[in-house]
Amino acid sequence: MSRSGIRTIVTVALAGYGLYVASYLPAMLPGPASPGLVALFALQTFCAIAAAVGVWRRRPWAADAVLALGVMIATTSVIEGFLLGIVPYLRVLAVVVGALAVTFVVAAYLNSSSVPNPWVTPHRR
C-alpha cells in the first residue's frame, strides 16, 4: 500500500475516533458525570480531530498531536478505572497498553514520512 493510502486510513481513523468520542459528550453534560471526565473526553475529541487535520494536511506537528491523543486516552482510562471505579482494572490496563502501543507506532510512522525533523541529525559516513 502506498504511503498516501496509509495516511488516508490514519486520517479517517483519527477523525472517526474523534466523532465517536464526541458522541459521548451530549449525554454526559446534563447527567451527574464528573466534570473532569467530561473535560478529558472533550480533550480526546479535540486531539483526535486536530491530529486528523494535521495528518491530512501533512503538518510536521501531526505526530505530536497523535502522541497527545494517546496520552489523553490512557489518562482517561486510568481515571475511569482506578479513581472512579467505573471500568474494570484489567480493561484499563489493556486500553492503556494498546493505546500507547498504537500511538507510538503511528507517531513513528508519521515522523518517518514527514519533512526532515530538525531535532534529528543524519548520520554521515
Say what the pLDDT of residue 14 is: 96
Residue whose C-alpha cell reads 559516513 in the numeric block: 125
- Give the Cα separation of 2 and 8 in Å (integer): 10
DSSP class of residue 33? -
- Give the Cα separation of 79 and 76 in Å (integer): 5
User: Can you give the residue ranges of every domain in the chain?
Assistant: 3-113
Residue environment code for 75-105, b if the CB has 16+ CB neighbours within 10 A, otherwise e:
ebbbbbbeeeeebeeeebeebbeebeeebee
pLDDT tens profile 49-59: 999 999 999 89
Is 70 exceeded by the pLDDT of residue 116?
Answer: no
Say what the pLDDT of residue 54 is: 95
pLDDT tens profile 69-101: 999 999 999 999 999 899 999 999 999 999 999
